[in-house]
Structures are given as structure tokens and as C-alpha cells.
Amino acid sequence: MTYFNIRTIEKYFTLFVFISLVLLPAVEVIARFFGTTGVIASSVLVQHLTLWIGFAGAVIAARRNKLLSLTTEPLFKTELSINWFNFIGKVTTIFIVLALAYGSWELVKIEMDYPVDIAPLLPRWAAQFVMPVGFFLIAIHLLINGYASWKNRSIMLFGITSIILLTRYFEPLQESMFFMWIVIFFIFFSLVKGAPIFIGLGGLAILFFWRDWTPLSAISAETYRIVVSPTLPTIPLFTLAGYILAESKASERLVKLFRSLFGWIPGGTPVVLVLLCGFFTALTGGSGVTILALGGLLFPLLIKEGYSKHFSLGLITVSGSLGLLFPPSLPLIIYGVTAAVSVKAIFLGGIIPGFIRVAMVGGWAVWQGKVQNVKRHKLDFKECIKSILDSKWEFVIPFFILFGIFGGFTTLVETAAMTVVYVFIVEVFIYKDLNWQDMRKVILDCSTLIGGVLIILGVAMGLTSYLVDAQIPLKLLAWVKTAIDSKIVFLLLLNLFLLAVGCMMDIFSAIIIVVPLITPLGAYFGIDPVHLAIIFIANLELGFLTPPVGMNLFLSAYRFEENMPTIYKSTLPFFLVMLLSVFAITYIPILSTWPGN
């Protein structure tokens, strides 16, 4: 089988899995509407399809060199000659991926010895088999992408083989602290050079379990457990709906709608931008997606209106993360799954803080509209009615989602699936912005992002499992009890800690790793679990804008081809506005806890 055939199989397998992931919950809703039953074991199949789309998407992301990393320059760009610093990072990365593949295979073998059916004639090990295959294919793609010639690839294979033999047959290394610190240095060095984020999390998990003589299958077991969580299928589903909207002309119609409704006020266009970006970020779950997808449309619009370059850059950069507190924000879903808190309760708790944050940023934009003497548009009722009619099918999407989530007729996963079906019908058949060929590209692009996110969640859960087994949360709680006796002081330190986490880690791995550490502390100080969730997301949202390494800062610099000092200067006023909103969200708990009260 040629490399080209493997790529073709990967593509069509991903399309099949994603389409199945959408149709199964949708069939359940339709069947319930007609008073009959749907597919047997549908919910369990959907959970395992999430596992499949996660690994299928990660494989395609590896082939495309788009696995999520902390740098804009990927490590595995094809090189003609060997750069030895990059070589070390590449060898370390592929070794970690192969170690994860080995641990996954060990888990599958255990499941084969003690088979459990998840559906009629479908054993659990058959569903888990995608894990070792997925990791192995990721390693293959990384190897192919690393160098142009097979000579250099062979040298890389020799280095990987040497490490495998050294760690397997030289047991004294497992007891050596010096060797452990060398490995940790190599892992972080690889991340700095552009290795995928999951390599750092998975590498640390592998190292710690290996030193404790714990089978690596424990990591894969945790990966499986988190990815097949009942609520997690909403991540690929809502993200696909957001991608379809972003690739259509929906953003242009919504811009016209919001401009006709709000363009008459000072700073009307920035308010439009804030609302639009918040809408797309809530659906796609990633601020980076909003900046990259809508930045090219919105930046020229602001400049044309007469706003300064610095103001326009700062507003787009900050608006990219404003939707993370609104349903159906993916970080809110992941937090609920990780902390075992009701996702619906978190959705409700984030609405008022989210609107406060939007109002504060929008208020600053209105003020800047006056300061910069930007020309205002006249309120035209005919234009308002026309724009509402033009975008009526897309305008109702937020209400459609909220009704599905809180109406009680559909589950969260079914709501997400029906949203995809609705958006697909609207953009393909009503507006005709997309055709079947476009949809195939949208699904594959969405799978790339989903794969990058879910594989981070999976391996991060393995690292979290080690931290819990090592009783790190309990030790941290014991220290806090002796060092801090004031709830206010604790919240202030929590703000500072989460800001640091937000600017150094992506939000998905931060949730998986940090939430188990802070939830016992929150309970000790009597902080409502929903309030703690909103504090967490709000702080990490601000962390995206925190110099020097906030993720939105890098993405904005990459999208608009600006240097980092320019981005820092542009976002500073918005950072201060967002900081004030963080203090309000943190120290006025009723803003988040009103549903429970």
C-alpha cells in the first residue's frame, strides 16, 4: 500500500466517521419526534465515534503539519539537511508518539483478553484499536514530514531506535534523577522548537509512569476514559457547525445585520465586531479560529471606518476570545466534564459574566469611536428590515441552540448534532454558499482542529491521573490550609496563578491538568463550583492576552503579519478592561451563581 493510498483511506475514513457522528444523534431526535426508537446503543456509539474522529483528525493534522503547538513555526517542516537542534526535537517527539502507541496497544491486548461489548457484536477493544493505529500513523507522518530524503529519515530512525533500546534494556536509568531531568529538558526543548503540545503532556506522563514502573497502558486508559465521556461529542459537533458558518458568507450577512442595528451609535462597527466574534468563538470553541477566519474581513472594515490600526488590531485580538463564557462554549463543556459539574449549570452561570465582559469591551470601543471622531451611520429602518430578512436563518441559530440545551426536548449532544444539520441545510440548500466539495474540505479542516484538541485532552488526562495518584491535590490543599486563611487572598492568588497558566498553556490542557488541583481548594474556601468554573475560564480567557506568550497575541501577529511589540501595544488597553471584568466576575459571585440561588 503506497503512502498516497494511506492518505486517501485516512481522508474517507474521517469523512465517514464525522458524518456518522452527526447522523446518529439526529436520527434519535427524529425518531423520538415520531414516537419510535432510533439506533440501538446510539449514545455509546456516538461516544466512541468521538474517539475515532479525535484520532482520525489528529492523523490528518500530523500529515498537514497542523497539530496544535506553542509556536507558529512547526517543528516538522520538511528540511533538506539536518539541523541538529531540530533533529533532537524531532527524535524526541516521534519517540514519545511511539511510546504512546505502545501503551495503547497494551491496553487493547488487555481488553482482548477480557472482552466487553459496547454494542451488539462490537467489543470495546475494536473501538479502542483506533488508538495504537492512530499514534503509529502520526509517527509515520511526522517521520515523512521531517526530512525530504530517506537518508536523513533513516538517521532519525536510528536515533529513535537507540533511545528505545536504551530505555528498555538499561534499567538503572529508571532510578536516575539526572536522567529524568535530561528527559524533561528534551521535552521542553522540543516544545520550544515547535513540537505539538500533546508531546509535552504525553512525554511527562510517560516519564513519570515509567519511573514508577507503571504500565504505559494506564495513560491510554485515561485517554480512552475522557474522550468517550458522554458530553464530549458536543466538541466536534458544535465546532463543525461553527466551521460551516465561517466558510460560508454567514459572517458577511451578520456584519450587515449588526451594522444596520448598531451602526448608528458611536463605535457601532466595533460593537458589531465584538458581537460577531463572540458568536463565532462560542460555536468554534477556539479564539484562534475566530481571529484566523474573520480577521481578514473585519480588519479592513475597521480601517475603512476610520479607526486607527492599533485600535483595530487590539479589538480583533481581544474579541477572538469573548465568546468562551457563552453556550455552547467548548471550554465550559470540558470544564464540566473534568470537574463533574453540570454543564447546563455552567452555561447559565456564564451568561451574565459573558455579557458584562462584552459590554465593557464594547463600551471601550464606543468611547474610542468618540475619541477618534469616527463617522456614524444613520439608523435606516428599511435597511434593518432588509438585513434581518437576508440573515434570518442564521440570526436564529443562538436561540435554536439555547432552546435545545434548556428546552428539555433534546440532550446536549443531540442539540449539537441538530445544529450541524440545521446549519448544513441553511448554507448548502437555502443560501447555496457551499457545495458538496466545499463541505468535504470543511469537514476535513474541522477534523484537523478537533484531532489536535482531543489528543491534547487525552494525554493530559494521563498526566492528571499521575498527579492524582501522587496525591498532589491533597498536598497542595494541606499547604494552602497552613499558608492562607483568607478567602479574598486565595482568590487573588488564584487570579495570578490562572493568568500565568493561561499565557503559558492552551485552555484545553490547562482545564484537564489544573482543574483537579484547584477544585479541592475551592471547596475548602466555600467557593461555589459554578462560580469557580467561570473564574477559571474568565482568567484563562484573559491569559490569551497576557504578555509575553499569550496565545492570541501570537495568532494575531501571525494573521496580520505584525511584530510582537506592535501587538502588545495594541492590546494593552483591552487587557486592562478585561482585567477589570475578571475582578468583577471573581469577587461578585452572584453574577455566576444566580441560577442556583
Tell me the pLDDT tens digit for each residue of 112-148.
998 888 888 889 999 999 999 999 999 999 999 988 8
Q: What is the pLDDT of residues 396-443, one digit of tens each?
A: 887 888 787 777 788 888 888 998 999 999 999 999 999 988 999 999
Q: Which residue has the cell 500529515?
A: 63
Query: How far is Cα 229 from Cα 225, in angstroms, rounded to an integer?
Result: 7
**And the C-alpha cell for 101?**
502507541
Q: Is the dihedral of CA 541, 545, 548, 554 positive or negative?
A: positive
User: For residue 183, what are the contacts with CB-CB under 8 A and spacing of at least 6?
Assistant: 203, 207
How confident is the model at residue 21, as a pLDDT? 93
Q: Calculate the alpha carbon distances from 175 to 172, 178, 213, 565, 573 in Å.
A: 6, 9, 10, 45, 51
Instruction: With both helix axes pointing from N to C terminus, report the angle between 343-371 and 330-339 in degrees, rounded to the nearest 10.
Output: 140
450 HSE (CA, 13 A, CB side): 33
The whole-angstrom distance between residue 74's C-alpha and the CA centroid of its chain comes to 18
Query: Mean pLDDT over residues 360-376, rounded?
Result: 77
Q: What is the pLDDT of residues 313-334, one digit of tens each?
A: 888 888 777 778 888 777 888 8
Instruction: State residue 119 phi and psi, 5-degree precision.
Output: -160, 165
Query: Would you call 591 helix, strand, or coil by DSSP?
Result: helix
Q: Calculate the alpha carbon distances from 511 to 332, 349, 396, 545 in Å.
A: 9, 17, 31, 18
> Cα angle vertex 481, ends 479, 482, to 5°?
70
Q: Calculate the alpha carbon distances from 515 to 26, 89, 347, 386, 538 in Å.
A: 32, 29, 17, 47, 14
- Which of 268-277, 301-310, 383-392 has the lowest average pLDDT? 268-277
- Contact by Cβ (8 Å): 349, 593: yes
Query: Mean pLDDT over residues 18-45, rounded?
Result: 86
**And the C-alpha cell for 331?**
471550554
- Contact by Cβ (8 Å): 322, 358: yes
Average per-residue pLDDT in the chain? Answer: 84
The whole-angstrom distance between residue 231's C-alpha and the CA centroid of its chain comes to 15
Q: Calculate the alpha carbon distances from 172 to 187, 357, 597 in Å.
A: 20, 54, 58
Entry pTM: 0.81
Query: How far is Cα 184 from Cα 201, in angstroms, rounded to an integer?
Result: 11
Query: Mean pLDDT over residues 510-531, rounded?
Result: 89
Query: How far is Cα 94 from Cα 78, in angstroms, rounded to an integer?
Result: 15
Q: What is the pLDDT of residues 544-591, one digit of tens each?
A: 777 755 667 766 776 677 777 888 888 888 888 888 999 999 999 999
Query: Would you call 123 helix, strand, or coil by DSSP?
Result: strand
Q: Which residue has the cell 533538506?
A: 80
User: For residue 469, what are the contacts with CB-CB under 8 A and spacing of at least 6?
Assistant: none
Plot region of 546 (φ>0 → left; ψ -120 to 50 → alpha; else → beta) = beta
Residue of 128 and 294 predicted with greater confidence: 128
304 HSE (CA, 13 A, CB side): 7
Which of 551, 467, 460 lies closest to 512, judged by CA?
460
The whole-angstrom distance between residue 530's C-alpha and the CA centroid of its chain comes to 20
- Contact by Cβ (8 Å): 496, 542: no
